[in-house]
C-alpha cells in the first residue's frame, strides 16, 4: 500500500539467473516503475537460439552451452562402447540416493519437489520437480572430494530446459543442459577438476522459470572419494513405529512415535504430502481445518537416505474454530489515516459497499515487533469520534481491522520475543479502538515462522471472531515457497482473505507458466489461479486493485475488468485468453487502495465492483 509521501511501490526485481545459467541476448517484459527488467522472455529466446546450434558428435549428443561464457564450462562427453572381453569395473558413485529410491534425503530440494514412480529411468523412483515463480526447482547434494582430482558428472533427465552442474569446484564450475527431451530420457554429462584445496563440491540439477515439471534420475558422480575411508557410513534407517496422535484441537494435532536408531531427523507426511521436518520423535502439525479427517505417516532420515514410511494413522480434528465470520463475498477498502491529496474521510464516510475496512496504518514502536496507532492530527478527527464510527460500522455488520505495514512499514517480527510483542500490541489496539482484527501489509519482507507464531498468539487472545487479512504484492504469491504464501498456508484455519495487490508489478507468471501483462483480465485470473490451486480456499482469495489511476503507480484497470475477472473465476464467463480449468464460485471478492481515492472519484469503483461482488454465486 502507498504511504502518503510515496505514490507507488517499487516494483520487485524479476528472476535472477541460477548457477551458470545463460545470460540472455534479449530482454523480457519491463516491470512498470522498476529499475530492473523481467528477463524470462529473453532467457527462453536465448535458450531456443542456443538449442538450434547444438551439434552431435559420434554416438553421443554434444550439449551446447547456452551462452558463449558457458562454452568453456559445459563439457560434452561422448561415451564409447568398449570392445573385447576385459570390461573395466564401473567406478563407484559418490552420490547418495542417486536414484531417489529413498525419497529426497539427503538432497536439498525446492519446496515443489518430490519423487515419482512413473516414469523412472531405472528402479522405482525419480526426482520430479516443478519450477514456480522465481523458483527454478533446484535439487542439490554436497559431496566430499579430493583436491586436484578429476570427476565426471552425469544424469538422466526428462523435460524442457533441464540443467546439471557442479559448483564449488575450486576451478571452473561447470554446467550442461538440454532444451528439451520430449517424453524420452536423455543423459547429460560434464566433467571437472577440483582445485588444490577443494574438499567438497555441490552437485545440482534444476529446471527453468515458467516451464513444466522436469524429471531426473540416476545422477552419478565418479572420481576419487574424499570421505574418510575408515567410515563405512550409516545405513538407511528403518521405518518408525508406534505413531500415535495426542492432543487434538480444531486446527492442530500432536504426533509422537518411537525413536529410530541412527536417525538424524524425521519427515512428517500429511495425506501423502510432506508437511514438516523435525529432529525429535514428536511433532505438532498446525494449519488444519476443524472437523476434518487427516492421514499421517512418518519417516526417519540420515545421511544415507530416508526410511520407508510408517504405518498410517487417521486423525479427525475437533469442531469449532474455522474461518472467522465475514460476508461470504466481501469488498475490502483501505482507509487512509493521512492526507496525500485524496479525499479526506472519517470512518463514517466510507460508503456502505465496503464490508472490510482496513485502517492504514499502525506504527512501529521502539519495542521490537510492537505496534501502536495514533490518529493523524491533520485529519481533525477526535479519538472518541473515531471509536464511535468504528462501533457504528461494526453494528452495521462491517469489519474494521488495523493494517500493519505499507510501502514504508518497518515492523520486524523475526524471533519469539518480537512475535509475542506483535500479538500483545495488536490485541491492545483491538481492545482500545474496537478493531475486529489485523491486516498484514508488510511490503519489506516477513518471517513466516514468527509471523505465524504471532498471528496464532493473537488468535488465542481474540478468539474465533478474529479477522485476519493480508495484502501481499504479486511477487510474494508466485510460489508456495514464498514467505507470504507460506504464512497464509500456515494460518489457513484462521485466515479470512488474502487480497493480493495486482498492480505496481509489471508482467508476471500465471499458474500455467505463461507471462501475462499487468492490467488485463488474464493477468488477474491467471495469477489468482496460483493461490486458488496452491492451497488457499476460494473464500480466502481476493483481487486487489487501485480505485483510481492516482491510487497507484501502475496497474489501474476499469472496474469492468475487475468484474470480468471475478466472473471468469467464479462462473467461467468473461475470461480472456486464459480460462481456468474449473470455476471457484466461493471466491471472496475484491480489495482497493483506497476508500479515499475511490471517494475522490465519486465512489465509481465501489459503486461498480461492490454490487457485482455481492451478487456472485
Active site residues: 443
Cβ atoms within 10 Å of 183's Cβ, excluding its own: 7
| DSSP-assigned letter for residue 145 | B
Taking the C-alpha atoms of residue 18 and residue 431, their distance in angstroms, rounded to an integer, is 48
Cell of 364: 512501529
Q: Cβ(402)–Cβ(430) under 8 Å?
A: yes
Neighbours of 352 (CB within 10 A): 11
Residue found by looking up cell 529426497 in the block: 104
C-alpha cell at 337: 489515516
State the helix-helix crossing angle for 416-433 and 383-395, rounded to 10 degrees: 90
Nearest CA to 501 out of 540, 566, 452, 554 is that of 554
What is d(CA 69, CA 66) in angstroms, rounded to the nearest whole number?
8
- Look at the alpha carbons of 559, 565, 568, 569 in this order and tell me if their dihedral is positive or negative: negative
CB-hemisphere CA count at 13 Å for 207? 30
> Of the candidates 77, 119, 115, which has an alpha carbon nearest to the alpha carbon of residue 98?
115
DSSP 525-569: HHHHHHHHHTT--GGGEEEEEESSGGGSSS----HHHHHHHHHHH
Amino acid at each position: 500500500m502507498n504511504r502518503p509521501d510515496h505514490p507507488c511501490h517499487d516494483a520487485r526485481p524479476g528472476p535472477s539467473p541460477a548457477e551458470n545459467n545463460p545470460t540472455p541476448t534479449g530482454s523480457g517484459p519491463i516491470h512498470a516503475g522498476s529499475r530492473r527488467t523481467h528477463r524470462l522472455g529473453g532467457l527462453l529466446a536465448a535458450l531456443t537460439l542456443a538449442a538450434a546450434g547444438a551439434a552431435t558428435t559420434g554416438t553421443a549428443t554434444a550439449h551446447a552451452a547456452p551462452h558463449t561464457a558457458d562454452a568453456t564450462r559445459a563439457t560434452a562427453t561422448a561415451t564409447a562402447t568398449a570392445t573385447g572381453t576385459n570390461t573395466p569395473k564401473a567406478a563407484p558413485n559418490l552420490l547418495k540416493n542417486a536414484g531417489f529410491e529413498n525419497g529426497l534425503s539427503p538432497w536439498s530440494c525446492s519446496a515443489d519437489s518430490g519423487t515419482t514412480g512413473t516414469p523412472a529411468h531405472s528402479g522405482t523412483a525419480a526426482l520430479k520437480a516443478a519450477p514456480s515463480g522465481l523458483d527454478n526447482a533446484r535439487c542439490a547434494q554436497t559431496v566430499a572430494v579430493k583436491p586436484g582430482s578429476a570427476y565426471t558428472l552425469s544424469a538422466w533427465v526428462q523435460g524442457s530446459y533441464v540443467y546439471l552442474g557442479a559448483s564449488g569446484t575450486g576451478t571452473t564450475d561447470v554446467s550442461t543442459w538440454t532444451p528439451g527431451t520430449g517424453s524420452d530420457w536423455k543423459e547429460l554429462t560434464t566433467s571437472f577438476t577440483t582445485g588444490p584445496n577443494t574438499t567438497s563440491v555441490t552437485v545440482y540439477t534444476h529446471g527453468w522459470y515458467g516451464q513444466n515439471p522436469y524429471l531426473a534420475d540416476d545422477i552419478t558422480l565418479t572420481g576419487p572419494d574424499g570421505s574418510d575411508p575408515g567410515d563405512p557410513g550409516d545405513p538407511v534407517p528403518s521405518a518408525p513405529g508406534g505413531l500415535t496422535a495426542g492432543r487434538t484441537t480444531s486446527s492442530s494435532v500432536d504426533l509422537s512415535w518411537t525413536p529410530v536408531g541412527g536417525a538424524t531427523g524425521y519427515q512428517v507426511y500429511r495425506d501423502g504430502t510432506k508437511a514438516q521436518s523435525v529432529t525429535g520423535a514428536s511433532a505438532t502439525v498446525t494449519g488444519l481445518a476443524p472437523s476434518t479427517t487427516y492421514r499421517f505417516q512418518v519417516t526417519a532420515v540420515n545421511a544415507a537416505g530416508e526410511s520407508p514410511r510408517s504405518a498410517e494413522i487417521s486423525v479427525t480434528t475437533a469442531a469449532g474454530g474455522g474461518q472467522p465470520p465475514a460476508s461470504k463475498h466481501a469488498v475490502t477498502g483501505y482507509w487512509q489515516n493521512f492526507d496525500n491529496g485524496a479525499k479526506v474521510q472519517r470512518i463514517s464516510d466510507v460508503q456502505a459497499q465496503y464490508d472490510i475496512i482496513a485502517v492504514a496504518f499502525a506504527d512501529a514502536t521502539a519495542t521490537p515487533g510492537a505496534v501502536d496507532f495514533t490518529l493523524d492530527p491533520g485529519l481533525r478527527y477526535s479519538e472518541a469520534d473515531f471509536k464511535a464510527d468504528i462501533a457504528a460500522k461494526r453494528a452495521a455488520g462491517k469489519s474494521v481491522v488495523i493494517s500493519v505495514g505499507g510501502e514504508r512499514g518497518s515492523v520486524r517480527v523475526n524471533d519469539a520475543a518480537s512475535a509475542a510483542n506483535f500479538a500483545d500490541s495488536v490485541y491492545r489496539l483491538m481492545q482500545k479502538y474496537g478493531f475486529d482484527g489485523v491486516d498484514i501489509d508488510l511490503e519489506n519482507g516477513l518471517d513466516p515462522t514468527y509471523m505465524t507464531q504471532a498471528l496464532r498468539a493473537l488468535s488465542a487472545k481474540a478468539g474465533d471472531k478474529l479477522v485476519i487479512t493480508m495484502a501481499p504484492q504479486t511477487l510474494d504469491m508466485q510460489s508456495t515457497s514464498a514467505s507470504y504464501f507460506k504464512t497464509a498456508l500456515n494460518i489457513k484455519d484462521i485466515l479470512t482473505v488474502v487480497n493480493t495487490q495486482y498492480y505496481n508489478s509489471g508482467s508476471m507468471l500465471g499458474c500455467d507458466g505463461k507471462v501475462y501483462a499487468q492490467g488485463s483480465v488474464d493477468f488477474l485470473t491467471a495469477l489468482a489461479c496460483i493461490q486458488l490451486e496452491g492451497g488457499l480456499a476460494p473464500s480466502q482469495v481476493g483481487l486487489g486493485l487501485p480505485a483510481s489511476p492516482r491510487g497507484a503507480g501502475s496497474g489501474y484497470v476499469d472496474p469492468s475488468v475487475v468484474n470480468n475477472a471475478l466472473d471468469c473465476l467464479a462462473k467461467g464467463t468473461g475470461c480472456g485468453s486464459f480460462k481456468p480449468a474449473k470455476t471457484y464460485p466461493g471466491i471472496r471478492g475484491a480489495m482497493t487502495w483506497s476508500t479515499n481515492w475511490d471517494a475522490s472519484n465519486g465512489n465509481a469503483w465501489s459503486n461498480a465492483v461492490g454490487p457485482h461482488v455481492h451478487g456472485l454465486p
